[in-house]
Structure 1
Amino acid sequence: MTAAVVTGLGVMAPNGLDVASFWANTRAGRSGLARITRFDPESYPSRIAGEIRDFHAADHLPSRLLPQTDHMTRLSLVAADRALADAAVDPALMPEYDMGVVTASSAGGFEFGHRELHKLWGQGPEYVSAYQSFAWFYAVNTGQISIRHGMRGPSGVLVSEQAGGLDAIASARRHVRDGTPLVVTGAVDGSSCPWGWVAQMSNGRISRADDPRRAYLPFDAAACGYVPGEGGAILILESAEAAAARGRAGGYGTIAGYAATFDPAPGSQRPPTLRRAIELALDDAGLPASAIDVVFADAAGVAELDAVEAEAVRAVFGPCGVPVTAPKTMTGRLAAGGAALDVATALLALADGLIPPTVNVAAAAAEYELDLVLDARPAPLTHALVLARGHGGFNAAMVASRPAANAEEQENRS
């Protein structure tokens, strides 16, 4: 079966606006969580977020795009540009139907929609931008990336909240396996505006702590909710043959396994299905649990959800059986962008032989029996497991592997 190789990365995160700065800050445990600055948060019970600062879209995009795009779409376009450059891909030199785009989104262009609704209520319908017809839409990032680069191959958008980033990459992998040489995938997401903030707060799980160092503490006995953020990662996924033909054999690594499950309805008395997602992803990768060197946790930061994840990890790997990390403690939970960024982080960790830290957590609660990585830990890494859960019951698990490891295992299987 055709291997799907990641040949390019574009990162937009609260603690780094490119791959190099993001990875340097992540290795060092430098956080991007702080008090909200995009609007006045004083009247809201939650006031800490992972915001992207010092980004000026006009420095990166043509002026014609600015009136028709939301903040998230602008970030997505720049991330896609950088991922393509990182992969040394010039879309103008490729057949347009050989390139697809699959992204994920939880909110679409929420800030754009907030602004235009404000005009509607305050000034009247004639002041609402015509671009509101599509700038708010979940699929707008896919559409704008495909238009900008002339990509007419298989495309789509996945809407499964935090799990969306993994689901999008998996969908891209299916297109690659079905014969599309290159797919732009991943997610950049968030809704840091008053309208989006209220919508996120409605789930009752956002931390109300005012100290950024104490607001998001997954697996800690003092866990009090999570901190939302904005950003994510765009990946270039290619078939191994196409990548090799361009001299990019191996790339950052391969997407070796994936699975998704859906939790039963609350009150059904049926167990959660995250463990099943992990087991199916390992089966898809053809790997035993013992082959996984690190788990990038979903890290809900809510006691009952942390307990479910810890139980699933413990059931598959045994008590303290595998290092577990949550670098999203430096960025916040980025909705669909969070899992895509975790995959990018896992690939960087595999290449560097270093597990990034889970910051601000003093220790994992004893009952979880997790080997939670609190300080950056050098280690030989071959395979990483990334977990993601979306609000409403979505679960996803993905295995990322170093290039050489995947090639060796394919040889062994043959």
Structure 2
Amino acid sequence: MSAKAVITGIGVATPNGLGVDDFWAATRVGKNAISTITRFDASSYPSRLAGEIRTFEAADHLPSRLLPQTDRMTRLALVAADCAFEDAGVKPDDIPEFDMGVVTASTSGGFEFGQNELQKLWSRGSQYVSAYQSFAWFYAVNSGQISIRNGMKGPSGVVVSDHAGGLDAIAQARRQIRKGSKLIFSGGFDASICPWGWAAQIAGGRMSTSDEPERAYLPFDADANGYVAGEGGALLILEDERTARERGAQNIYGEVAGYGSTFDPKPGSGREPGLRRAIEVALADAGVRAKDVDVVFADAAGTPRLDREEADALIAVFGPCGVPVTAPKTMIGRLYSGAAPVDVVSAVLAMHEGLIPPTTNVELSPAYDIDLVVGQPRTASVRTALVLARGYGGFNSAVVVRSAD
């Protein structure tokens, strides 16, 4: 029998909260954190709203030697890793170094660090470019820095599949737990709210150009016209359930019970998108039926075509209005590889409280026959949740999270 991979520690940093308590206090009531960009002058860009983390000062949490060699996303990830260890009630020295590993996801890498070094290159010369540029921009840098800081020498890696990457990384972590690792860090962080990073995101063609924070990111709404980007993410500690209980883990939030991933067919092929199949594979992997799912945390792309595809997949699996659906990311923006791990955090906290957080600001269009939780949170018994994520270019991922009680 395969080992059960359970979540025993959480580190989360989002525009509406740093740490589990602050994040959930804001999320459960629908506190909006989308506003005009302050990290740079975005007045000349077509998209000017974002979900920014405005209360984070890396120097308050990390040694000064790390600051010159790390991008903002890595600083957030390192602090989240520290928080996850504390939340799990375990110290790195408690576990053999080769029994601990790290698998993270990244969509853009250290964009802001790279931008700063490019500015030095063109304005001052190559001799002013930091030697840390060789790795600070890299997609795998979060995995590397977390493992070095905590002496973790077990299986490590990085997954790059855009918004779907966070779920893919969690699935890879589950595989390593089943292979015998005692503890694996997993999740994702992105933070590319800077001119270069912003230009790259706008080039994708899916960002909202609205200047109204409450009407900019509207998945499943008749006025949907793109998403708002944000920064942040979450890191989870996964352990084998038996090992966690034997060590007296102070938190067992839930089990990563199932996973499925697919890739969309070529545009114009006439074939069905792959999301429905990813959901069905994840449910089968978890050994649950559609009627067993208590809530779906939607990808919520915020464009008419992608919203239509997601709604169709949900209706095909669960039936019209067959399951409560929510997208709390409308409060904070889409965090790229960090978005889905944050949804996993919301899912296990929803199980703990019996409360589904709302999809803020959205007025559900009658074109979508789904039971979207809007306006206010909904009291509900939540024991099984499905988290969905889709990445640019055709990635589809689904994870089933189940109560460990």
TM over 0.5: yes
Q: Deviations over 1:39-65 (max 9, x none)?
A: 000000100000111110000000000
Gaps of 5+ in 2: none
- What is the distance in 1 between the residues matched to 2:49 and 2:348? 28
What displacement does 1:93 show? 2.2
In the other structure, the counterpart of 1:27 is 28
Q: Secondary structure at the match of 1:366?
A: coil
1:200 maps to a residue whose letter is Q
In the other structure, the counterpart of 1:335 is 336
Question: What is the Cα-based RMSD across aligned positions, in Å?
Answer: 0.8
1:161 lines up with 2:175 in the alignment = no
What displacement does 1:190 show? 2.7
What displacement does 1:249 show? 7.7
* Contact 2:294 2:384 (8 Å CA) reproduced: yes
Q: Deviations over 1:99-129 (max 9, x none)?
A: 0000000011000000000100111100000
Matches within 5 A, 1:29-178: 29-178=30-179
- What is the distance in 2 between the residues matched to 1:383 and 1:208? 36
In the other structure, the counterpart of 2:274 is 273
What displacement does 1:250 show? 6.8
2:178 maps to a residue whose letter is R
* Contact 2:72 2:112 (8 Å CA) reproduced: yes
* Contact 2:105 2:159 (8 Å CA) reproduced: yes
- What is the distance in 1 between the residues matched to 2:66 and 2:251? 34
In the other structure, the counterpart of 2:372 is 372
What displacement does 1:376 show? 0.1
1:220 maps to a residue whose letter is D
- What is the distance in 1 between the residues matched to 2:126 and 2:116? 13
* TM-score, normalization by structure 2: 0.99
Q: Secondary structure at the match of 2:236?
A: strand
1:189 maps to a residue whose letter is D
Q: Secondary structure at the match of 1:403?
A: coil
What displacement does 1:242 show? 1.4
Give me the identity figure in percent: 64
In the other structure, the counterpart of 2:394 is 393
Q: Secondary structure at the match of 1:8?
A: strand
What displacement does 1:351 show? 0.8
In the other structure, the counterpart of 1:410 is none
- What is the distance in 2 between the residues matched to 1:65 and 1:185? 21
Q: Deviations over 1:17-74 (max 9, x none)?
A: 1110110000111011000000000000100000111110000000000000000000
In the other structure, the counterpart of 2:17 is 16
- What is the distance in 2 between the residues matched to 1:250 and 1:173? 18
What displacement does 1:401 show? 0.7
Gaps of 5+ in 1: 405-414
- What is the distance in 1 between the residues matched to 2:243 and 2:152? 16
- What is the distance in 2 between the residues matched to 1:268 and 1:111? 38
- What is the distance in 2 between the residues matched to 1:110 and 1:6? 30
In the other structure, the counterpart of 1:193 is 194
In the other structure, the counterpart of 1:409 is none
Q: Deviations over 1:273-321 (max 9, x none)?
A: 1000000000000000000000000000000100000000000000000
* Contact 2:296 2:325 (8 Å CA) reproduced: yes
In the other structure, the counterpart of 1:344 is 345
In the other structure, the counterpart of 1:403 is 404
What displacement does 1:244 show? 1.0
Q: Deviations over 1:232-270 (max 9, x none)?
A: 100000001210111128700100100100001112221
* Contact 1:5 1:250 (8 Å CA) reproduced: no
* Contact 2:87 2:251 (8 Å CA) reproduced: no
Aligned residues: 403
- What is the distance in 1 between the residues matched to 2:116 and 2:319? 50
